[in-house]
Structure 1
Amino acid sequence: MSKPFYKNKLAGSYGVLEGQVFSSQSSFLQLRLVNAVGGMVELSHQHENVTTENLVQVSPEEVQKALLGF
């Protein structure tokens, strides 16, 4: 997976950025979540709307360790 990974600091979830969502009051970034499937990290069908203040870029190794335990 070539996109950088991000962690939602509030929810503790991991994902990749997929775009922006605009509402009448504000705009959010759309984080497509990743999960562990069969010993690999894969994109899920779940999304979270997040703000830049709640995101931190993380390494693929951190994502693997958090989701797969190694």
Structure 2
Amino acid sequence: MTRPAGTGWSKKPSLELYSPGVRAAVEEIAEAPREHLWRKLGIVLDGVAARQTGWSGEPTFESRHR
């Protein structure tokens, strides 16, 4: 997918437009996408469990796997 030159859009987005913190986060995800996915899945599963049972004070998946 390409657009005509001069439209301000390119195939390869540049991280230079973002803050160092955002760039670091994107680079971390790009280097280890599977680990990022598992962390996010853990957060979702914790939310589902909390809604089903109510918060019990037990450690969550996320806190156990940091």
TM-score bracket for the superposition, by shorter chain length: under 0.3
Determine which structure has the larger strand proportion and give its number: 1
Determine which structure has the larger helix proportion and give its number: 2
Give the TM-score normalised by structure 1.
0.27
Q: Select the structure of larger CA radius of gyration.
A: 2
Determine which structure has greater relative contact order: mean sequence separation of CA pairs < 8 Å that are 6+ residues apart, divided by chain length: 1
